[in-house]
């Protein structure tokens, strides 16, 4: 703040328009950059107007570069791209290779935020190459750090770790305290992901010491929070809480509302973990209030998710279901509204800028695009594969949410009916039924929570014993004659439990069947499961419609979501499902999945 006041005094004393005044405005804009984007933009616009008026290309480029950074901080990425590109063109024109390196790195950062990682890597590597050509260690170190960040978002943590380490070493050679601290913090994040908590704590502690020395309060509060997360993972909850508390004090002091909401969320998770539900609810409510004020959808979603967990564990199922619905709605909103808009914007930009990108980079002095493309060839192919896997994961997550809503709604409906009967007749068997459905609902939530975490970490399916999955599913169905024959191992995930449960429930509820026969067989790479009931059957005219979303048939029909989810899940495994008639009555649901060699796997005991 002291530096800002000195610059403002100097600016008042500078009566004449000229280079000195322009440079003061640029310096003032840089000082405001971290904490006051509007003031930073205001001064950069003034410096740009004067520089254009007096035709000072260097100052024009510097002003444009700062404006690009401001728009980046404001998350207005199309404007950030525009100003950074204009700055890079001017730096190239006047031969300022250091400025060009910085602008290219900033462009890469914008593309990273747009999830266009191919372009991000190209621009960061171009920036790094220019830094190496001119021997500018700061530019090289900054590019290494940026590359580490891009690989982090690509979930390639080994490459991310490598580039953060290279950045740290380079920052140390030039004794850049802020750069060293940032690199150490980034290394701590990667080590935490890799569960190397000792190394993560070592990096965070060193980074914290430097941040305190250079009086970077925002950085200090962030690292304190990160250290708290480590102790949380280590189940040292007293230490975790102490670091969260220290982080909170500083965040309140500097008015970092998102940081406050995030730390409140972390404190709430801590109390939830130790079953201190009242304090957990209090902290999540405070976090939710601030999150709504600042319109932070990701934090709002986290609060709803944790409220669902709390009320499930305390058996307040009405509230648990309410927050589960809110969680699903906002999660769908994030994936559909924001993500779709972002993806559409990214695709538009990618299409319009592909030719422009090639032309620009070919024109850059001392830069060989061919060498970069050779370096990136394999990585771009890998990226395309990762994008495909990400889409699969999103689809499977949506199915998990649908299963959760559908299955829990069914269980709550049964509980409600059982309560009504119990109140009317005092039938003690209804209490047993309620207890069974409560336990079943809790198991469903637990299983699908595990499935959600699994999908978010990677997209690969696992090997599942069909016989064992079915054995577990049928244990919930009492007074029903069910026979299972055969064994097979198939590629699936935990949603398979709900698939079988749904089909069997339909056979009882809609098909009025008291007996079910299930056969499991394998042929080459295919595992076939035939679920045969002996109920009233399904009319021919609706066999093709029962898997449609929202289809309703008969008096017992509801939303029709169940079999739609079943079909989506099976197709997500690369399999298929269809219906055949059973003789003399009933239907057969046929499921075909990808099979793995049963000889190579042991059944779980």
Q: What is the pLDDT of residue 36?
A: 87
- For the cut 50, the answer to whether the pLDDT of residue 349 exceeds it is no
Q: Please, what is the average pLDDT of the chain?
A: 82
Helix (H, G, I), strand (E, B) or coil at 256: coil
Q: What is the pLDDT of residue 369?
A: 45
Helix (H, G, I), strand (E, B) or coil at 136: coil
Q: Alpha-carbon distance 185 to 154, whole Å?
A: 19
- For the cut 90, the answer to whether the pLDDT of residue 57 exceeds it is yes
Shortest CA distance to 366 belongs to which of 178, 547, 95, 120?
95
Q: Does residue 584 have a cis bond before it (omega within 30 degrees)?
A: yes
Q: Alpha-carbon distance 523 to 521, whole Å?
A: 7
Tracing tokens 């904490």 back to the chain, one arrives at 35
Tens digit of each residue's pLDDT (9 = 90 or more) over 151-164 = 998 888 899 999 99
Q: What is the pLDDT of residue 334?
A: 67
The mean pLDDT value for 530-557 works out to 77
Q: What is the pLDDT of residue 404?
A: 58
Q: Alpha-carbon distance 298 to 307, whole Å?
A: 14
Tracing tokens 């701590």 back to the chain, one arrives at 188
Q: What is the pLDDT of residue 602?
A: 28
Phi, psi of 41 (to 5 degrees): -65, -40
Spell out a b/e string for 264-275, using b for 16 or more CB atoms within 10 Å of the CB, else e: bbbbbbbbbeee
* Helix or strand run (H / E) with residue 592: strand 587-596
Tokens encoding 521: 């067989």
Phi, psi of 214 (to 5 degrees): -90, 5
Q: What is the pLDDT of residue 446?
A: 58
Tracing tokens 């979303």 back to the chain, one arrives at 549
Tens digit of each residue's pLDDT (9 = 90 or more) over 261-280 = 999 999 999 999 999 999 99
Count of Cβ atoms closer than 10 Å to residue 490 Cβ: 27
Tokens encoding 560: 């029709």
Shortest CA distance to 345 belongs to which of 79, 73, 69, 67?
79
Which tops the pLDDT comparison, 427 or 584?
584
What count of residues does the chain have? 605
Helix (H, G, I), strand (E, B) or coil at 381: helix
The mean pLDDT value for 505-520 works out to 88
**Most confident range, picked from 384-388, 476-480, 582-586:** 582-586
pLDDT range class, residue 227, cuts 50, 70, 90: very high
Shortest CA distance to 283 belongs to which of 248, 321, 314?
248
Handedness of CA 298, 303, 304, 308 (dihedral sign): positive
Q: Alpha-carbon distance 455 to 254, whole Å?
A: 37
Does residue 515 contact residue 534 with C-beta atoms inside 8 Å?
yes
Shortest CA distance to 104 belongs to which of 129, 136, 77?
129
Does residue 326 contact residue 303 with C-beta atoms inside 8 Å?
no
Q: What is the DSSP letter of 539?
A: -
Q: Alpha-carbon distance 308 to 320, whole Å?
A: 4
pLDDT range class, residue 343, cuts 50, 70, 90: very low
Shortest CA distance to 313 belongs to which of 345, 259, 342, 277?
277
Question: How distant is the alpha carbon of residue 579 from its chain centre?
Answer: 37
The mean pLDDT value for 52-63 works out to 93
pLDDT range class, residue 571, cuts 50, 70, 90: confident
């Amino acid at each position: 703040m002291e530096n800002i006041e000195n610059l403002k005094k100097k600016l008042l004393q500078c009566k004449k328009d000229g280079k000195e005044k322009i440079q003061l405005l640029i310096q003032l804009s840089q000082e405001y950059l971290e904490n006051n984007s509007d003031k930073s933009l205001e001064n950069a616009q003034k410096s740009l107007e004067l520089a254009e008026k007096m035709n000072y290309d260097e100052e024009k480029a510097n002003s444009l570069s700062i404006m690009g950074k401001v728009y980046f901080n404001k998350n207005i990425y199309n404007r950030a791209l525009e100003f950074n590109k204009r700055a890079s063109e001017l730096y190239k024109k006047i031969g300022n290779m250091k400025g060009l390196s910085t602008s290219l790195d900033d462009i890469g950062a914008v593309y990273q935020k747009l999830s266009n990682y191919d372009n991000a890597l190209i621009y960061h590597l171009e920036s790094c190459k220019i830094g190496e050509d001119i021997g500018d260690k700061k530019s090289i170190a900054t590019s290494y750090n940026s590359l580490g960040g891009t690989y982090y978002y690509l979930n390639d943590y080994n490459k991310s770790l490598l580039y953060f380490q290279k950045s740290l070493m380079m920052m140390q050679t030039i004794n850049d305290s802020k750069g060293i601290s940032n690199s150490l913090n980034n290394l701590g994040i990667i080590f935490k992901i890799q569960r190397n908590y000792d190394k993560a704590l070592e990096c965070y502690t060193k980074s914290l010491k430097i941040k305190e020395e250079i009086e970077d309060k925002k950085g200090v509060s962030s690292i304190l929070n990160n250290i708290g997360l480590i102790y949380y993972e280590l189940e040292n909850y007293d230490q975790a809480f102490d670091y969260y508390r220290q982080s909170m004090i500083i965040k309140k002091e500097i008015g970092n509302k998102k940081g406050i909401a995030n730390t409140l969320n972390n404190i709430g998770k801590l109390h939830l973990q130790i079953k201190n539900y009242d304090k957990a609810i209090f902290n999540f409510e405070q976090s939710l209030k601030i999150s709504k004020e600042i319109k932070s959808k990701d934090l709002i979603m986290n609060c709803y998710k944790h409220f669902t967990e709390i009320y499930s564990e305390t058996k307040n199922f009405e509230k648990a279901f309410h927050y589960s619905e809110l969680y699903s709605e906002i999660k769908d909103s994030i994936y559909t509204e924001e993500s779709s808009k972002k993806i559409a914007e990214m695709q538009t930009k990618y299409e319009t800028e592909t030719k422009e990108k090639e032309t620009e980079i070919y024109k850059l002095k001392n830069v060989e695009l061919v060498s970069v493309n050779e370096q990136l060839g394999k990585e771009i192919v890998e990226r395309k594969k990762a994008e495909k896997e990400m889409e699969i994961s999103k689809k499977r997550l949506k199915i998990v949410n649908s299963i959760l809503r559908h299955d829990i709604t069914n269980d709550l409906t049964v509980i409600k009916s059982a309560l009504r009967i119990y109140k009317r007749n005092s039938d003690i068997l209804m209490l047993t039924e309620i207890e069974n459905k409560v336990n079943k609902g809790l198991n469903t939530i637990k299983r699908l929570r595990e499935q959600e975490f699994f999908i978010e970490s990677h997209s690969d399916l696992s090997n599942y014993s069909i016989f064992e999955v079915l054995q577990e599913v049928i244990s919930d169905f009492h007074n029903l004659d069910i026979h299972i024959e055969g064994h097979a191992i198939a590629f699936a995930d935990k949603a398979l439990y709900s698939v079988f449960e749904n089909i069997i429930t339909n056979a009882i509820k809609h098909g009025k069947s008291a007996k079910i026969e299930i056969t499991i067989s394998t042929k080459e790479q295919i595992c076939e499961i035939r679920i045969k009931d002996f109920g009233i059957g399904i009319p021919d005219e609706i066999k093709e419609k029962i898997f449609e979303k929202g289809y309703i048939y008969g008096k017992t029909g509801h939303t029709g979501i169940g079999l739609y989810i079943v079909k989506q899940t099976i197709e997500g495994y690369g399999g298929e499902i269809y219906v055949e008639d059973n003789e003399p009555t009933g239907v057969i649901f046929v499921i075909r999945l990808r099979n793995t060699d049963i000889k190579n796997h042991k059944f779980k005991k």
